[in-house]
Structure 1
Amino acid sequence: MSKTRRAASTGLAVLLSAGAVAALSGCSPQADAPLTRAVATFQVVDQSFKVELATPELVEHAQKLLDGEDVSAIPLGTVVRGDASVNEPWTWHIDPATLEFADFTTEVCDGLPEYVEDGTVTSDVYCPWSAKITAIEPLAD
């Protein structure tokens, strides 16, 4: 075998081996890419609700919350009633275009997810003060 052919063969073997290791370890260039859109799950007392994180900045902020960093923690956004979107089994969701995180809000938009469901929270905005983020998942397209 010529030196050129042996070098090409060796190079191919190294590339294939690296690819096999990456495949077996679950690593891939996309696996390490930051999420640009996701769904965050929040716990409010003994109930949970989900919110779409529509921008990389919101995903990053939610990840900081999940990591325990001291950042604005109250999810705040406009309620869209009659459409669960990512927030099943509830019949409402937060409009992702209006979602932000606040340090404090007015009491009129605070409450349990069931209070939004049954109309006890009459505000068009929901801002549960005791919400704690519990998970971030990639948004299924």
Structure 2
Amino acid sequence: MRAYFAFEQLIPSGELKQFVFQLNDAAKIEEARRILASGNQLKAHVQGKVVPRPADYNPGWSFHLDPETIGFFEFQIEVCDANVAYVEEHLDEVGGAFLPNSFWCPWSSRLSKEVSC
């Protein structure tokens, strides 16, 4: 089973950007659909491990999230928070002091929709 979802995040210029990710786990797919159906904004933030390669389903970005590591959160530690535009600009630094273990949890991300690819 495979499904695609998007989250949105404002970048520093004020533009709203979309980031598409893939889920392969039936339970996570159902969780994402429940979040969207309920309008629950508390646990609508997306987290996962950055893979520094583009994915066909996520146009416009040089990286994607490992589907096996994706989850949803309400609260998370500060060290994994970063804006999507900043991650794109500093992709070569991901995994070191910036986003240790390549784990990214953008606090201002909001699960926005299920998409077809």
TM-score by length of 2: 0.77
What are structure 1's unaligned runs of at least 5 residues?
A: 1-35
Greater strand percent: which structure? 2
Across the aligned residues of Structure 1 and Structure 2, the Cα RMSD in angstroms comes to 2.0
Identity of aligned residues (%): 33
Q: Does the Cα contact within 8 Å between 1:77 and 1:94 map onto a contact in 2?
A: yes
CA distance in 2, matches of 1:90, 1:102: 23
TM-score by length of 1: 0.65
Aligned residues: 104
Q: Does the Cα contact within 8 Å between 1:64 and 1:71 map onto a contact in 2?
A: no
Q: Which of structures 1 and 2 has the bigger CA Rg?
A: 1
- Range that drifts further, 43-52 or 63-72: 63-72
Partner of 1:132: 110
Partner of 2:9: 44
What are structure 2's unaligned runs of at least 5 residues?
A: 11-15
2:65 aligned with 1:65, yes or no?
Answer: no
Q: Which string of whole-angstrom CA distances, capped at 9 and with x for unpartnered residues, describes residues 25-59 of structure 1?
A: xxxxxxxxxxx321111011211101101111111
CA distance in 2, matches of 1:130, 1:71: 11
Greater helix percent: which structure? 1
